[in-house]
Amino acid sequence: MNENNNNEPEKKRGDAGIFIRLLIISIALTAVFNIINTYRILRQTTEVSYSTFIDWIDKDYVKKVEFQSDRIEITLKDNAKPETMAAKLGTTVFRTGYLENDELIPLLLEKNIEFSTPILYNSPILSFVLSWIVPLVFIFFIFRMLTRSLDGRMGGVMGVGKSNAKIYMQQETGVTFADVAGQDEAKESLVEIIDYLHDPEKYSRIGAKQPKGALLVGPPGTGKTLLAKAVAGEAKVTFMSLSGSDFVEMFVGVGASRVRDLFKQAQENAPSIVFIDEIDAIGKSRDNQIGGNDEREQTLNQLLSEMDGFDTSKGIVILAATNRPEVLDKALLRPGRFDRRIIVEKPDLIGRENILKVHSKDVKLGSDVDFKKIALATSGAVGADLANMVNEAALRAVRMGREEVLQEDLLDAVEVVIAGKEKKDRILSATEKQIVAYHEIGHALAAALQKNTQPVQKITIVPRTMGALGYTMQMPEEEKYLMTKAEMYAEIVVLLAGRSAEEIKFGGVTTGASNDIERATNMARAMISMYGMSETFDMMALESIQNRYLDGRSVSNCSPETLAKLDNEVLELIKDCHKQAKAIIGSQAEALDELAQFLIEKETITGEEFMEILGRFTKISKDTDENSDDKE
């Protein structure tokens, strides 16, 4: 009861502010209405002198006279002589100033001229009421009705100052931790928070306090929002969800008002969980730079104040998600606000396998489905990618007329998500087809003839919708978290081997290697600038990663002179790898021709077919086994 009474003055102040705003708007619109109306009347009539008016009466030109508060309106007869102003201007209505003239009325009676005074102008008070008060009341009433109607739909006067948080209960979200896989550490941290909400006494007995907030951090698609919804399903308490952009408005102060309203709702519905998605929209670090956003900073200040002020014993937890933690204000991240940072990373091999199982639980699967192989082929994929792959596989099975999903459907779905669908309407010419075939076989040969590389899974020269005219797919033998210098060097050689095959076979180059060159250059630069794999710079960090969970773009930490030396060393590394690639391709000229012709004929060949043909020209099978043993 006390809480409600304390909120009454705030509610009244809010209503008074709304009333004043509507009144000001109504007065302004009424003034505009009167100005336009007066301007319209003045444009419809032409002003003449009083003496001309008396002269027209004497000449019997006047048909009607209307006396108003500040002027006299004159209407001439249709048969007025051509020399009158009516004939010149093409109008019969004029006006002149009002003068006190006792002889005017008798003159009008003598000439039988009709005259009158409108009731509106008879009384200044009545004129004011009809011109100002009535339109003002009418406009105010219309606006008030509109705002009341929108208030019910949008949570306030057109939503201003009110929180747009959606309140979910367990039966509405339909998501629990059983629906989330590959994020065991994140679930463990959230389970502890949920357990505290259910049984706070267990923690208070030992003196433990509930965390005020938890920040979910990770790349897009890893399941941050899904985890938050799973918390709602598990906690069985009020779950309030909204996005950081919901606080941002054009009017300064509105976002802060919405933050206050949000925490007020959370306290009224305690125990409760508040989830703010994309909190970086309002939580960016404050600065004094020109062009700063006052509204966003006021909203952030209010959020900081509210998170300090609420009592955790009432069972309120703040969850937030972002993929840009580096831009968040330090005051927001300190203990006492967001006490816990929960990293939601890309899943590992076991995590990807479990995610595939979760998303395929309602899908009819064939007996040959091996999720481990699919997980190996999708290194770096996030939960959203894997869910999309399962759905694409199911769609392909339907297109093929089957009632269950096979392993080939899942492998094709991996290619669809990574490279796009086959572009059947793009037909390559015989020359282009030959160039693409030699290019892809070049990649495959470099991968097969080197140590520290991944085995070839598939080679195709069928164009894809994402722009690739062909590609070579490699399948890792195991999940790896580190790459050695030798492995990175070999990977650059594989990337440059496609262009090298073109040079050796055709004596020229094409534009098809642009993506290979870009990836090779980025890898070579990272080896020197970030991984300390350089004799010149030793273990000096020349660049660092910005926006780690988004584009992962590198930024320079050194002088322009050092950057120039860095560029030279990258160039030397690329040249060395290019030379190595040409040496590998040149030593297998016969195998290159044989494999390229086979690929041109078949358009798509498997890794087994590739290795079988290559085995006729080299002892690659034995070497591959040895390489495999070395890796183990």
* Burial bucket for residue 163 (CB in 10 Å: 0-12, 13-18, 19+): buried
Distance CA 603, CA 495 (A): 21
Residues 96 and 145 in one domain: no
Residues 336 and 375 in one domain: no
pLDDT recorded at residue 157: 41
Residues 358 and 298 in one domain: no
Q: Could you tell me if residue 424 is inside a domain? A: no
The 3-state secondary structure of 78-140 reads CCCCCCCHHHHHCCCEEEEECCCCCCHHHHHHHCCCEEECCHHHCCHHHHHHHHHHHHHHHHH
pLDDT recorded at residue 112: 83
pTM above 0.85, yes or no: no
Residues 393 and 518 in one domain: no
The SS3 of residue 240 is: strand
Residues 547 and 615 in one domain: yes
Distance CA 449, CA 493 (A): 11
Domain boundary among 343, 371, 396: 343
Distance CA 141, CA 63 (A): 42
Residues 90 and 189 in one domain: no
Structural domain count of the chain: 5
The SS3 of residue 401 is: coil
pLDDT recorded at residue 626: 41
Q: Could you tell me if residue 130 is inside a domain? A: no
Which run of H or of E encompasses 458?
strand 456-460
Residues 573 and 514 in one domain: yes
Distance CA 271, CA 314 (A): 6
β-bridge pairing 553-556 and 543-546:
antiparallel
Phi, psi of 405 (to 5 degrees): -90, 130
Residues 252 and 359 in one domain: no
For 517-579, give the DSSP string. Answer: HHHHHHHHHHHHHTS--BTTTBT---EEEESTTTT-EEEE-S-HHHHHHHHHHHHHHHHHHHH
pLDDT recorded at residue 585: 94
pLDDT recorded at residue 171: 42
Spatial strand order in the sheet of 62-67: 46-47, 93-97, 71-76, 62-67, 114-116
Give the C-alpha distances (Å, rounded to integers) separating 338 from 213, 303, 333, 342. Answer: 4, 12, 5, 10
> Do residues 391 and 417 make contact, with C-beta atoms less than 8 angstroms apart?
no
Type of residue at 576: D
Q: Could you tell me if residue 452 is inside a domain? A: yes
R_g of the chain, CA atoms, integer Å: 40
pLDDT along the chain (632 residues), means of 10: 43 57 73 69 69 82 79 77 54 73 80 73 60 73 66 45 52 72 84 81 82 88 86 81 74 72 82 86 73 70 82 78 88 85 88 91 91 87 90 92 92 83 75 93 94 90 81 83 92 96 93 92 94 91 83 83 93 96 93 93 90 82 40 33
Distance CA 367, CA 370 (A): 9
Give the C-alpha distances (Å, rounded to integers) separating 395 from 96, 378, 462. Answer: 83, 19, 20
Distance CA 444, CA 592 (A): 10
Residues 624 and 565 in one domain: yes
pLDDT recorded at residue 114: 84
> Do residues 224 and 341 make contact, with C-beta atoms less than 8 angstroms apart?
no
Q: Could you tell me if residue 131 is inside a domain? A: no
Q: Could you tell me if residue 400 is inside a domain? A: yes
Q: Which residues pair with 604 in a beta bridge?
A: 460
pLDDT recorded at residue 140: 72
pLDDT recorded at residue 369: 92
Nearest alpha carbon to residue 460 among 420, 505, 403, 500: 420
Going by C-beta distance under 8 Å and a sequence separation of 6 or more, which residues neighbour residue 176? 230, 233, 234
Residues 564 and 627 in one domain: yes
The domain that contains 67 carries what CATH number? 3.30.720.210
Q: Could you tell me if residue 362 is inside a domain? A: yes
Place of tokens 């000001």: 24
Annotated active-site positions, please? 440
Residues 204 and 75 in one domain: no
Residues 241 and 320 in one domain: yes
pLDDT recorded at residue 623: 43
pLDDT recorded at residue 549: 78
pLDDT recorded at residue 119: 55
**Helical packing angle, 430-448 and 589-602, nearest 10°:** 130
Q: Could you tell me if residue 128 is inside a domain? A: no
Q: Which domain holds residue 489?
A: 430-631
Q: Could you tell me if residue 129 is inside a domain? A: no
Domain boundary among 419, 449, 469: 419
The domain that contains 367 carries what CATH number? 1.10.8.60
Domain boundary among 398, 419, 440: 419
The domain that contains 329 carries what CATH number? 3.40.50.300
